[in-house]
Amino acid sequence: MTEERTCKVCGKAFLPNKYRPNQEICSSLECQYQRQLDNMKTWRGRNPNYFKYKENQDSSWKETCRQRSLDWRKEHQEYLKLYREEHRGRHRDYMRKYMRDYRKKRSMLQAGAGEKSTGV
């Protein structure tokens, strides 16, 4: 026979569920809700960062979002800057190479023209 127990939350006597002989809290909604909260607290205690953001969905949550997007933008800007610098460098190299080739071709043409002009 199941023994009457005292609810840990409300302090009232209750009969534990026969499928859950270790039940420590009565089946009233309030106490069950309280039990869930306690479970959450215990769980949060074990996972302290899980609700860090969601918990404060007020200004601090927005602040977190803002800070995150700022961080992202900063990183992105840095990336863009690097990209531009690299691109500019590449463009400069390309132009340098292009001009070198152009001058080489031109001097070769001139040399060829000079050879031709001297005649045989």
Q: Which residues of this chain interact with Zn ion, rule CB under 5 A?
A: 7, 9-10, 26, 28, 31
Minimum CB separation from Zn ion for residue 9, in Å? 5
Q: How far is the CB of 34 from Zn ion (least distance, A)?
A: 8
- Sequence letter at residue 64: T
Given a contact cutoff of 8 angstroms between Cβ atoms, the answer to whether 44 and 50 are in contact is yes
Name which of 10 and 64 has its Cβ closer to Zn ion.
10
- Indicate the residue type of 94: Y
Minimum CB distance to Zn ion, residue 16 (Å): 12
How many angstroms from the chain centroid is the CA of residue 19?
A: 44
Q: Would you say 23 or 31 has its CB closer to Zn ion?
A: 31
Which residues fall within 8 angstroms of residue 7, CB to CB, at 6 or more apart?
13, 14, 24, 25, 26, 28, 31
